[in-house]
Every structure is written in structure tokens, then in C-alpha cells.
Amino acid sequence: MPDYGLAGKVAIVTGGNTGIGAATVRALAAEGVAVGIAFYAAPEQAAALAAQVYARDGRSTMYEVDLGDPEAIAPLFDHVERSLGPVDILVNNAAHSERDDWPLLAAESLDRHYAVNTRATALAITEFARRFRGGAGGRVINLTSGQGLGPMPGELAYVASKGAIEALTTTFAAELALLGITVNAVDPGITDTGWISDEFRAELLARAPFGRIGTPEDAARLILFLASEQGSWITGQIIHSRGGF
């Protein structure tokens, strides 16, 4: 196994109690990272995940937060710093998603998607950079959805908010490099986190180049690499890790 050089680091993973977020928490904790698990709902899943980390001699803390509230970002960082120490790694995984094709598109949906997916990402990166202690080793990894690769009908507000994350990634990367912070985005493609219907699964498997659907662990492995010392020369990239889809 490679030494990722992460022992003793501290991370925040938003949306960290389920799916890709939970897989990322487990992957980071296995490498000695103390992880702040930020979540919006399902506290029992956050508690179970924290118990798993503890059972493997890891350190974590839980924090319930509505990222749609712009005043919620600083208290999240305050809590993690008090519990675990200064933050080295930020994984912006949380997302709001509701289907809205053009007849259903409304200002309220646009605003909520923007608040959670775009504004919270930008504010969290800014708060992270303000508090970063300096030197090499700062890592920001954003999650995006491949919306730049083609249309996603029925997801207008979502694709608008996620497309903005790709733009933020490249510009934040240029601005924060002198602080020793890399900024990248991961597009994991279609990932089996429990939402795929049997009918859609069959359709996907029929055209899956590797004969399977992506898992949260697939995304977590790439996030772990980008967070590691081995990822120190990669910044400003949107990496499409989609298994050939």
C-alpha cells in the first residue's frame, strides 16, 4: 500500500454521512486523517459512521449544518478546529438536487440549488483559505457531475449550480496556489448510492464499458489521491472518473 502522507491531517467532508461522502470519510480515516463529518439530515448515519472511524482507532467529529445558510460556514470550521485541530483538507461533497425541467423551473429552485451547491462551496473554500496555516499540503476537492460533457434534461437548476463549481475550481486554483493549496474537482459520473431504479440499472449495465456501475469507493479513491502528497502537483483540474460512460 502506498504511503499517502496524510497521517495527522484534518479534513472536513460535507455531506459526509452518506454515499460518496461516507466512503471518503472512511478512506481518509484509514490513512490517519481526523475527519469532520458535516451533514444535513440522517444524524443516525453520521453517528454510525463516526463509530466506525472510532472502532478503527480513528478520530472524527460530527456537525449538523444547513449549507444553504451563509452564516453556517464559519461555525462548522470553528467546531472542527476545536474538536480536531486546524483543517488541511476540504471536500465539498454536499449537494442539493431536485428535478426541474423547463416547465417546472422556478426562482425558488434556482435559489436553493445556488445556495447549497455554488455559494456554500465558494464560501467554504474562502473560509478554508483564510484559516489555512500556510505551507504545502492544503487541499480542496469539489464534487461535480459532468454537466459540461453534455445535456442533463430535467436538471436545469442543478446543472447551472454544478457548472459554476467547475468555473470556481479553476479560478480558485490559480488564486490559492501561492498559499500552498491545490483545488480540483472530481466528476464521478453515475454512482450507485441507492437511488438507481432496477429499470435504470439494467439500462446502465447494458452499456457499461466495464460491466458495472460506479461505486462511492471509486470516487473516494480518487479524492484520497488528490488529498495526498502524490497529488501535490495537480491543481485546477476537473477530473472525469466515470468508468468510460
- Does residue 180 contact residue 140 with C-beta atoms inside 8 Å? no
What CATH number has the domain spanning 10-240? 3.40.50.720
Mean pLDDT of 218-236: 97
Q: What is the side-by-side order of every strand in the sheet holding 238-240?
A: 60-64, 34-39, 10-14, 89-92, 138-143, 181-187, 238-240
Predicted pLDDT at 151: 84
Residues 6+ apart with CB under 8 A from 179: 129, 132, 134, 138
CA atoms in the 13 A half-sphere facing the CB of 224: 25
Predicted pLDDT at 132: 97
Predicted pLDDT at 187: 96
**Predicted TM-score of the model (pTM):** 0.95
Active-site residue, 158 included: yes
Q: Which position among 4, 40, 63, 158 bears the catalytic label?
A: 158
Which of these, 88, 164, 231, lies nearest to 172 by C-alpha position? 164
Domain ranges of the chain: 10-240
List the alpha helices (DSSP H) in 71-215.
Answer: 73-84, 107-113, 120-131, 156-176, 198-206
Predicted pLDDT at 245: 84
Task: Please check the confidence at residue 1 and state whether its pLDDT lies above 70.
Answer: no
The model's confidence at residue 2, banded by pLDDT at 50, 70 and 90, is: confident
Mean pLDDT of 39-55: 97
